[in-house]
Structure 1
Amino acid sequence: MPRYRDVFRVPEFTPLFLGGAASAAAQTVAGLGLATLVFRATGSPLLAALAMFGPALAQLVGATTLLAAADRLPPRTALTAVALVFAAGTAAQALPGLPLAATFSLLFVQGLTGSVGNGVRGGLLNEILPRDRRLLGRSVLNMSVGVCQIAGFAAGGLLLALLSARGTLLTGAALYLAAALLARGGLSARAPRASGRPSPAETWRTNARLWSSPERRRVYVALWVPNGLVVGCESLFVPYDPEHAGLLFVCAGAGMLAGDTAVGRFVPDRWRGRLAAPLQMLLAAPYLLFFLRPALPLALAAVTVSAVGYAASLLYQERLMELVPDELSGHALGLHSSGMLTLQGLSATLAGGLAQLASTTTAMTLLAVTSLAVTLASAGKGKSAEPGTVNLVPRSR
């Protein structure tokens, strides 16, 4: 079984890892700062949730118009440009007196750009690492997100106290700039994985090709829907408990780190197919407790246990890569990221709307119940794998 040191021995993996970590830290710091700024200005849970997860909604537009660029641009140039766009947009959001419409317009541009960047990064990982190390490599990248969420939200809470929300946004912009420098200086120049010019028409054709397979469709739905609904629960941390929202996000990052570590490094191959659905049920079930508005220690424990279930995504991503040709790996992973983030944005919007109509705890409970129902319905359609196979995808009876 490959070890962590094996992936870090690959020269280009380290700058890819550090660049992704810097971007993740920037996203958490800037997202917390912007959500706090918007909530203080408007008092709206809906707008606060959209401020933190709004770029995800633009991913749908990017996935249907720009995603062909993920395999048709030089990876180093693309990753550098994406990080610079995020740095400039985040710095602009810190400008005093910036209208709310301009703030959300910048979020939309960042979301469009991010839809390409996620595909480029995922496809480049497949180029850098041998096939037998890719799951572990994705696990390490996911773990870095967990660590950076812990550090980012903890630092974000401190920065909010020391520098204000605008100072927190500027810190996020500086981290995005660091990601751009890491990509430019640490990655080698590579040719695009696919030939041809990126265009909306090519994006549509490739999306249709990927979506034409029933098995790939099942994997995408499993990657997008249950997780997206739980992110909707997380989007309400600020209105649920403004004073301890950063701590709740830290616990979510810690749980995700633990789950990715366990699945990526220690779970044997023969168990992986059986764990995907149970992990997604674990992801949603703890949020049922929020209907009772638990005390802070119990809420923190529930969030931590829940986030372990995010590791199910590693298993579904592994299956997705088995179902697509290498030259479309960036587009396929970009479609996954865009769809996942779009569902997260829609769920955050739904959560904010429900919270305004009812309460934050009611919204969390309804989203958790729906996530559990989707996972159980999908698992009920599956069949057990034959010996020696990995059956990660629910199959029709």
Structure 2
Amino acid sequence: MPSDTSAPTAPSPTSYRALLSNREFTGLYVSFTLTVAAATLSGFALGTLVNHQTGSPFLTAVSMYGATFATVLGALTLMSVADGRRPRRTLVVLQCVSLAGLAAQAIPGLPLGARFGLLLILGFFQSLGTGTRMGLLAEVVPTSTYAPARSLMNITSGGMAILGYAIGAVLLRHLAPQEVFTIAAALTGLGLVVVAATVREHSIRPTRRPGLRQTWTTNVALFSHSGRRALLLNLWVPNGLIVGCAALFISYAPGHAGALLAAGSAGMLLGDLIVGRLLTADQRRRCAFALRLLLAAPHLLFALHPPAPVVTVAVFVAGAGYAATLPLQEQLLALTPDSVRGQVQGVESAGRMTWQGIGAGIAGILAQYLTPGTAITTVAAVSVAVTVGSRPFVVRARAVRVGKAET
């Protein structure tokens, strides 16, 4: 598993080009890229469709990030499949489920209730897919290159979100949302083919049977550690609330929502590039608190209702704060036994995505009674408060490597 990040380490000599020379990593990376692009397009299309049909900020926010509510169910029930004996086959099956769900969203005239139901189903299986993919990632790259590999995937996520929102905004000017869903389904299908063709099966996982009991056993052990609890809180809550702010961009400025969402993703890409590639592990850990503040503070400007260019710059700057996720993930993995790293990464990702849904719901509810700008400001202030209030607990969380025999 990734080495202890509590001690200063030199910058990794591994380049992104060297990582991409690994055929299996390239397959996981390309598939991940296509999956993020599909999710961005489909989320933007569904949000636009719901906003057009209902005019409700709450329903629009939930439609864009509502799938995240279902990820917690996956984390609580079947996430142990991420550490099963045949993870490649598991990932292929889960990709097939995502393909079927997006294809169903493309059906014209589908009721909104059915669309929200599909959203939740997809969220459940996507959480399992994330855990499986991250577990495979930790096996297909050497230990010393795990952090750069994860950084590259984070950067790609931001880049694909930029392109996805920008292209989605253009596509929706000329195509119906159902046609954009069809494009998203095609991208998912292509990602399925890439995984099947490039990633081999890994059978070095524990022989324990995955299921509800094993999932709960590992989750209890995960949350019994105070350091892991503090890290998970900071991985989930502050950025989940800021995603809630982003969920109101369509309601705040329908004509500029694509630009705002793209600006946030561009800032995230830049932050991940600098923090993940140019800083050492010790430097990343030291700047994590400042990055979490940077993530929320610029959104306080929405209270002043500044011009669109000013808001766009503020959202871009704030996006760099998402890079705080990387040092916190490194510390969490250093506290994780090798045998359950897939499930732990899946739980972390599922919780983060669930809090994105919760943040979207909170922001949407506030926007029902306040203006969208005031709701964004309020949620950002809460994010700042959580970051500041939880700092002592994060400081006390020391990343001590856990032996492989520990469960």
TM-score, normalization: structure 1?
Answer: 0.95
Q: Aligned to 1:111, which of 123, 131, 136?
A: 123
Q: Aligned to 1:226, which of 229, 232, 238?
A: 238
Q: Aligned to 2:195, which of 180, 183, 188?
A: 183
Q: Aligned to 2:384, which of 338, 352, 372?
A: 372
Alignment-derived partner of residue 258 in structure 2: 246
The separation in 2 between residues aligned to 1:85 and 1:384, in whole angstroms, is 41
Per-residue CA shift, 1:122-160, capped at 9, x if unaligned?
Answer: 111110111111111000001111110111111111110
Counterpart secondary structure, 2:23: coil
Q: Does 1:265 find its partner at 2:297?
A: no
The separation in 1 between residues aligned to 2:202 and 2:128, in whole angstroms, is 17
Per-residue CA shift, 1:267-310, capped at 9, x if unaligned?
Answer: 12331221111000000000000111221111110111001010
Q: Does 1:328 find its partner at 2:362?
A: no
Q: List alignment gaps of at least 5 residues for structure 2.
A: 1-11, 401-407
Q: Aligned to 1:141, which of 131, 153, 178?
A: 153
The separation in 1 between residues aligned to 2:77 and 2:399, in whole angstroms, is 33
Alignment-derived partner of residue 395 in structure 1: none
Q: Does 1:204 find its partner at 2:219?
A: no
Identical aligned residues as a percent: 42
The separation in 1 between residues aligned to 2:394 and 2:351, in whole angstroms, is 22
Q: Does 1:89 find its partner at 2:105?
A: no
The separation in 2 between residues aligned to 1:338 and 1:273, in whole angstroms, is 22
1:158-169 alignment to 2 at 5 Å?
158-169=170-181
Per the TM alignment, residue 9 of structure 1 is displaced from its structure 2 partner at its CA by 2.2
Per-residue CA shift, 1:245-288, capped at 9, x if unaligned?
Answer: 11111111111110000011101233122111100000000000
Q: Aligned to 1:30, which of 37, 42, 53?
A: 42
Q: Aligned to 1:358, which of 370, 382, 386?
A: 370
Per the TM alignment, residue 192 of structure 1 is displaced from its structure 2 partner at its CA by 6.1
Which amino acid counterpart does residue 101 of structure 1 have in structure 2?
Answer: G
The separation in 2 between residues aligned to 1:275 and 1:81, in whole angstroms, is 39
Alignment-derived partner of residue 283 in structure 1: 295
Q: List alignment gaps of at least 5 residues for structure 1.
A: 392-397
The separation in 2 between residues aligned to 1:102 and 1:73, in whole angstroms, is 34
Counterpart secondary structure, 2:254: coil
Q: How large is the Cα RMSD of the aligned pairs?
A: 1.6
Alignment-derived partner of residue 5 in structure 2: none
CA contact (8 A) 2:332 2:399 kept: no
The separation in 2 between residues aligned to 1:148 and 1:381, in whole angstroms, is 34
TM-score, normalization: structure 2?
Answer: 0.92
Alignment-derived partner of residue 394 in structure 1: none
Pair 120,382 (structure 1): closer, same or farther in 2 beyond 3 Å: closer
CA contact (8 A) 2:33 2:160 kept: yes
